[in-house]
Amino acid sequence: MSQKLLIGKKIQKICKKKKIKFIVNDDPLLAKKLNADGCHLGQNDMPLKDARKIIGRKIIGVTCHNSIQLAKKAIKEGADYLAFGAFYGSNTKKTKFIASTKILNETKKLTKIPLVAIGGINSKNYKNLLLNKANFLAISGYIWNNKKYKPTKAIKLIK
């Protein structure tokens, strides 16, 4: 069994226990093997229609960076959520695209599907994204690479 499959099964078990959706990043085939709740597609991953053939009516989210055109395309193709960012500088991934809260507000005028904000989000800036129509926040570095707080403390500061 592959390393990804083994790790995925462990993460999935935790998600089920906590009643949290389990979304696999960039890999619809792995999502299908794990019977995950869905997958997330970056712009360089397979087209949404091909991912839909693989995982069916499960959740599929699409990265839209800072582009209303990418958002419109993803909406038209049937994405279940749209992800935008980076909103702030991040050390987790190289920041190629900078998004402003304007993109969240513009996109909310086009659709009711959930919007996810990504990139450099922490306890000091997350509220601004929620106040500007983000439905969900993807927070990684602040929790896992925080030199000041352990993950549980970092999470509590965002509640």
Nearest Cα neighbor of 79 from 91, 64, 92 is: 64
When pLDDT is cut at 50, 70 and 90, the band that residue 90 belongs to is confident
Roughly what angle, to the nearest 10 degrees, separates helices 68-77 and 101-108?
Answer: 40
Mean pLDDT for 56-72 is 97
Mean pLDDT of the chain: 94
Query: In this model, does residue 1 exceed pLDDT 70?
Result: no
Tens of pLDDT along 18-56?
Answer: 999 999 999 999 999 999 999 999 999 999 999 999 999
93 pLDDT above the threshold of 80: no
- 44 close to 60: Cβ distance less than 8 angstroms: no
Distance between CA atoms of residues 82 and 41, nearest Å: 10
| pLDDT value for 130 | 96
Please tell me whether the overall predicted TM-score, pTM, comes out greater than 0.85 for this model. Answer: yes
Q: Which of 67, 63, 56 is closest to 26 using CA atoms?
A: 63
pLDDT category, 97, cuts 50, 70, 90?
A: confident
Percent of the chain with pLDDT over 90: 87
Domains along the chain with CATH numbers: 21-156 (3.20.20.70)
**Measured between alpha carbons, how far is 31 from 63 in angstroms, rounded to an integer?**
17
